[in-house]
Amino acid sequence: MMSRPVLLALALLAATAGTPAWAQDSVNVLQFALSNPTDNAQMATPPSLGDSVPQSVALRQPDPNSSLAYFYYNGQPVIVDLKTRSVVRVGQ
């Protein structure tokens, strides 16, 4: 019989096995953004998933190796893919 920690580790591994790397990176960037809020960006329309973020919006990259960055809009962090400047997550 397996010990409880081994079973928990296996369950965690199974739960994250199909998770894309950017999704985990998104969680890390979100955690950083929540600990390091910025001023709210000014945009004509609220950001939503897949939207392209204008160049006028300053993005903050928590780690130079991260493919994601963030900004705040209306008090909520918005996670952005740096290559495409598209929104991958809005809020918590």
- Is the model's pLDDT at 41 over the cut of 90? yes
Whether 56 is in a domain gets the answer: yes
Domain extent, residue 33, equals 20-90
Among residues of the chain, what percentage have pLDDT more than 90?
Answer: 64
* Secondary structure of residue 52 in the 3-state scheme: strand
Residues 6+ apart with CB under 8 A from 76: 90, 91, 92
pTM as predicted:
0.74
Whether 55 is in a domain gets the answer: yes
Q: Where are the alpha helices (DSSP H) in the chain?
A: 4-16, 21-35
Q: What average pLDDT does this structure show over 20-24? A: 55
* Secondary structure of residue 16 in the 3-state scheme: helix
Q: For the chain, how many structural domains are there in total?
A: 1
Whether 26 is in a domain gets the answer: yes
**CA 86 to each of CA 3, 35, 68, 74: distance values in angstroms, whole numbers, following the listed order:** 43, 22, 10, 18
- Is the model's pLDDT at 89 over the cut of 80? yes
